[in-house]
Amino acid sequence: MDRPLTGIRIVALEQYMAGPYCTMLLADAGAEVIKIERPGSGDPRRSIPPFAEKDGTRKAGGFMAYNRNKKSFCLDVQRKEGKTIYLNLIKSADVVVENLRPGSTDKLGIGYKDLKVINPKLIYAAISGFGRLEGYKGPDSDRPAFDIVAEAMSGIMHLVGFEDKPPSWTIYGMADVYTGLCTSYAITQALFQRVKTGKGQFVDSAMLDAMISLNERMVMLYTMTGEEPHRGRLKHLYPRGAFKCKNGYLAMNVPDDLVWSRLCKSIGRDDLIDNVKSKTGTARAANSDFLGPIIEEWLSKKTRDEAEKILNENGVPVGSVYTAKDIFESEQVKARRSLIEIEDPDVGKYQFARGPVMLSGAPQIETNPAPDLGQHTHEILSSILGYSDKQIHELINSNTIGIKP
């Protein structure tokens, strides 16, 4: 049985995180992903720590995590012959994914306008900070951006942290990963539409757009009430946050009065259900200094597992705040196979996060390790493009391509 995207060829002019995460998901879905890399250096993430090391070989963990199931093709597209090779490869491609600086591919003559002439069915997905689609360009569209910029300009950083502290970022690479996920979703839509129309199209994916869509609550509050949300506790909802137990923290959210009544009964404080200080979400938020110690007092006598069991059984959804060690030891994570083991022939076995969804009608994903730099250059040139060994040797000597030693 094939994976959903088996038979789809994707050429990836990608680096760092957003593009690689997008194509990793598509590779997991069965697509053939050909990753174009600079001869000699490759994706910059190959040189960013932490590293896995064994017997003198060193590989970057971040690169290993986001580049499984891909092929590495070392090709200098800035050279005349390299550009010719790239354009020939595009003739047989279904999708291009690119997250280089806006305008760089157009300057080289390998942007969407150039490629759709030689392959009208091509789907070209461009990931950028601020979007590139004609008719939707803004004053920032040509700017480069890393993910923290999108977090900041989407308003998310304004909400993260404490009232008396500066804005804070969420987790490393969240905007990159979420934008990559959104882009993979958009590409599958474009592939489905191509079945109907026979035509390719330009997929425009902006990190700022992705993060604003993720920050839906801020947008909703402002348009409905004119209210400017701030860091810290919410004005109309409490309890929400991490509360200390005997051996760690428990995450809790009480969205309405029904769940509040269940919480009160669980901790033996039925008197708080209709108390004027706690009968509504707004009242609870205003009196969090009164209610917080009551909740924490009950939790202080319970371990995370004890509190979690009691509250979940009584209809109060809670969860332990996991450390990395907790994740790797979690029976739920193991049952879901949320972590997949990948064995690299040089540095050994490691576990990485699986993609976020599973399909009942598709086989398990492949677990091929991230490729070495130029590992598949010869294969692609000979098997796909028909180059002879002599021609390949000449390309190596001219530094147009790179091949794994």
Query: In one letter, which amino acid is 313?
Result: E
DSSP SS3 for 224: helix
Residue position matching structure tokens 């994740």: 327
Contact criterion met (CB below 8 Å) for 47 and 53: no
Per-residue buried b or exposed e for 87-126, using 16+ beta carbons within 10 Å of the residue's own CB: bebbeebbbbbbbbebeebeebebbbebbbeebeebbbbb
Instruction: Out of 176, 204, 209, 344, pick the active-site residue.
Output: 176
176 is catalytic: yes
Dist CA 27 CA 29 (whole Å): 5
Residue position matching structure tokens 């993260």: 160
* Sign (positive or negative) of CA dihedral 152, 142, 186, 108: negative
Q: What is the DSSP letter of 51?
A: E
Dist CA 25 CA 182 (whole Å): 11
Contact criterion met (CB below 8 Å) for 363 and 1: yes
Contact criterion met (CB below 8 Å) for 262 and 314: yes
Dist CA 404 CA 396 (whole Å): 11
Instruction: Output helix, strand, coil percentages for the chain, rounded to the nearest 5.
Output: 40, 15, 40
In terms of residues, how long is the chain? 405
Dist CA 16 CA 46 (whole Å): 9
Q: Which of 329, 267, 252 is nearest to 297 (CA)?
A: 267
- Residues with catalytic function: 176
